[in-house]
Every structure is written in structure tokens, then in C-alpha cells.
Amino acid sequence: MIVTGASTGMGAATARELARRGFHVLAGVRRDSDGAALRAAGIEPVILDITNQQHLAALVARVDGDPQRRPLRALVNNAGIPAAGPIEVTPLDEWRRIFEVNLFGHIAVTQALLPALLRSKGRIVNISSVNGKLSMAGYGPYAASKHAMEAVSDALRNELAPDGVQVVVVEPGGVKTEMAGTGLARLSQLSAGMTPEQNARYGALVQGLPSHVAAFTKAGVTSDVAAKTIARAVIDRRPRTRYIIGAMAGFLIRASRFLPDRLLDRMTNSDLRKHYPAESGDRSTAAHHA
């Protein structure tokens, strides 16, 4: 088994859960210190930046040269970075950074390991998000990368099915990890660079996003609970094409399927506005009466 992004959070919990179930897990970490904290029976940390070709080549060599000749049963594409901010003020370089990790890095890992997965008729588990199905104000860059990952997963599932390789998507909602907070530092940088006109448009949204993220995360499940669902996606004999983590994610994904867009917009915007500064106005209401 390979789990990328296993330094902390869901990735680390998934590596531990799979090891607990008797599998040998190659756990991709960014630093030696992360690997030392994770190392345990059944878990072999490997230094892995999924955007680094040398790291990918070393991983392939490790899989192909496994001393016990174990086949690669599954790849869990979990690595990722958070992002938040209005479309207009998010620089293109930031868009590219987000997609480089959240999309292109996963494609690179998958391409590199497909020969081994084809030999073993293994499984690819792509960790998406509720934002892969539902986007809202302030979450566009991150949601776009996850929407793209959903599309790649659908195509890959159909391309590899004739060869016996299964592709599964996992869509978490709020999960209590460190990841949510790490994306907010860049949000403050975006805010500082906004023009007065942009601040008038998005100031309240940008100020409200940290509180919204914190509330969504607090209401979520633990990494250990999420890991149990991911493990099911890895080992279920006849897996579903998608697994949802968390009651809120389930509600939002179902709502996105059946509710009209305008109604869904009103729901998500209303929830966001609860986190706006008290003195901010409601631009949607103002625009409606203009």
C-alpha cells in the first residue's frame, strides 16, 4: 500500500489504520521528522513530494525492488494543500501552485505507479472533497482543483476497468486536521494586497472565511474516523465508486445534485454570511435593490 501526504491528519491516520489491518504501508512524508513520528510496525515512511520527479522515481524503484516481492495493492492519493480566496484576487501563480499539488502531482504519482498497479490489478483511491462537488464564494481555487480531480477519477475509472484496476473517490467534508488552518495564512496575504475597490467587494467575505473554515472543521469527524472510511475504500471487495465522509458532506453533496442552483447559492451564501464581521453589509441584498 502507498499513502501520499501521510505526515499528519488523514494521511497519517490512514497509514496507521491500514497497518493495523495487517498491510505494509509506504507512507509518503515531507520530512524525516514526520517519518520518525509515524514509523511503526507495518509503516515504512518514505520521503515524498509528489511534485518532485526524483522522489517519484525513488518510490517506483522501491516498489519494483520490494525485498519481499509484495505486489502494490493500492495507491491512496491523499496529499494536498488547502486554499481560499476570491477568484479575482487570487494570483495565477497561486492557482498554478494549488493545481500542481492537488491535481498534477496526483496524476504524476498515478502515471508512475500504474505499471505496478496493472500487474497486481490493484486499486487507486483518490481523496477529493465535498468541494469537489460543491463550490461557493471564497473556495473557488481549492474547489476547482478538486472538481478537476473528480473528472480525472471518472475518466481513469473507465479507462482502467478493462484491465482490472479499480478507481475509487473519497469525498470528505469537515475533518479535524491541521490542514484547514494552514491555508489561511495566504488568505491574509491576499487581503493585504487587495485594492480599495476589491476590499469593498470581498472584504467581509475574506474576513469571514477563517471563522467559516473553523466552524466547518470543528463540526467534522476526527482523522481516525475518516481513516476507517478510506480503509474501506481500499479493501472493500466490491467498492463503491464514491465514499462520503461525514453527515454534513453527505447532505451538501445530495443537495448539490437535486436543488436548483439559485436555491443552493442562497443556502451557502446565508451560511457564509453568519461569519461576516457584524458591521459588514449584505452586497447581494444591496445588488438586488439597486
| Spatial separation of the C-alpha atoms in residues 17 and 90, rounded to whole Å | 37
Q: Which of the residues 139, 142, 202, 276 is marked catalytic?
A: 142
Amino acid at 173: G
Q: Where are the alpha helices (DSSP H) in the chain?
A: 9-20, 32-38, 53-64, 92-99, 105-120, 140-160, 179-182, 184-192, 196-218, 223-235, 247-258, 261-273, 283-289
| Spatial separation of the C-alpha atoms in residues 23 and 15, rounded to whole Å | 9
Largest Cα–Cα distance of the chain, in whole Å?
Answer: 71
Beta-bridge mates of residue 16: none
- Tell me the three state secondary structure of residue 47: strand
Based on the residue annotation, tell me whether 243 is a catalytic residue of this protein: no
For helices 196-218 and 184-192, angle between their N-to-C axes, nearest 10 degrees = 170
- Residue 78: its H or E element: none
Known catalytic residues are: 142
